Amino acid sequence: MANTSARMLRLLSLLQTHRYWPGAELADRLEVSPRTLRRDVDRLRDLGYPVDAARGVAGGYQLQAGAAVPPLLLDDEEAVAIAVGLRTAAAGAVAGFEETSVRALAKVIQLLPPRLRRRIDALQAATAPGVFGGGPVLDAASLTTIAMACRGEERLRFDYAPRDGETGYRHVEPHRLVSLGRRWYLIAWDLDRGDWRSFRVDRLTKPALTGARFRPRDIPGGDPVAWMRQRLAAAPSRYDVSVLVSVPAGTVRQTVGHWATVEPVTEETSRMRMSVDDLGWPVMILGVLGGDFTIESPPELHERARQAAETLLRGAADRRPRGADPH
């Protein structure tokens, strides 16, 4: 890397994984000599980043969390606010920013001193963000642990409860967290099965970093999101839904995104098709669209929609005491 500024940013990015980097490996990653690497590390120290160094044949470098917030020009309150905001965004409060928020959160949490981490955990435990979407509730600390394992290229252990089967112990090399629709998925190389696997994060418990590093493998196709979408498309679903709605196709597409196929029937009507395991999702979408609709399949959706309508009607019923002034 000829550009010093670009090389410094790359060095800082590697060190922020908080793994221990042997000097030779780090210099190889940056395509510089050991002497240039030492000068770059000294520059980072001059900027206030606490980089530890070990001398000798097995010498190397590691970035430590300091006694204060590293030079991000943030005070304690601002750092806590950023971390809590990133956790909320990671839960889906801001559509389209879930994955970016998790990656940023992993960096921020790793650099914060313990006293601020405790404040963040306490604040998160005492609040309940209202996130639209109907997806499963995730533990923010678990999500952060998984993100740190992906970023730090560190093997991960956890318990996993698949849809069909008993909870089992898993040992993986985590590759990427992917947010699709209302759910988070971990893409990882399963060490016990010797193959790529995906895991729903809401079915994953007790994630633990092992301290064992690994060299990342190349995921088939090179695109984790495309790989995950192909896996989901190939997985059998319990219900094939088809509904004729009195809403223009463009409006329906804006609401459901890629989670349904939408075909225009007329300028004001369209047909929505989707494959789902839970009929609550299409019922919620129909409520959001707000137009008249005709259920074509499956038969179970008629009953689920009727139950939802009755529940809403009961909740909306006039419950004023007798004799109360209606005005």
Which is nearest to 23 in space by CA: 5, 10, 41, 50? 41
**Is residue 280 very low, low, confident or very high in pLDDT (cuts 50, 70, 90)?**
confident
Per-residue pLDDT for 126 more than 50? Answer: no
Mean pLDDT of 111-139: 57
Mean pLDDT of 214-219: 90
Per-residue pLDDT tens digits for 62-91:
887 654 445 554 566 666 666 666 666 655
Work out whether strand 154-160 and strand 168-180 pair parallel, antiparallel, or are unpaired: antiparallel
DSSP per-residue letters across 9-75: HHHHHHHTT---EEHHHHHHHHT--HHHHHHHHHHHHHTT--EEEE-STT-EEEE---SS--SSS--
Q: Distance between CA 233 and CA 132 in Å, rounded?
A: 24
Residues 6+ away with beta carbon under 8 Å from 317: none
Q: What is the CA radius of gyration of the chain?
A: 25
Name the amino acid, one letter, at 9: L
Do 32 and 43 meet the contact criterion of CB atoms below 8 Å apart?
A: no
Which is nearest to 61 in space by CA: 109, 13, 9, 26? 26
Q: Which two tokens stand for residue 6?
A: 């670009």
The pTM for the full model equals: 0.50
Q: Distance between CA 199 and CA 192 in Å, rounded?
A: 14
Per-residue pLDDT tens digits for 261-275:
899 999 999 999 988
What pLDDT does residue 88 have? Answer: 60
Q: Distance between CA 146 and CA 165 in Å, rounded?
A: 23
Q: Which of 55-59, 138-142, 244-248, 312-316 has the lowest mean pLDDT?
A: 138-142
Cα of 211 vs its chain's centroid, Å: 22
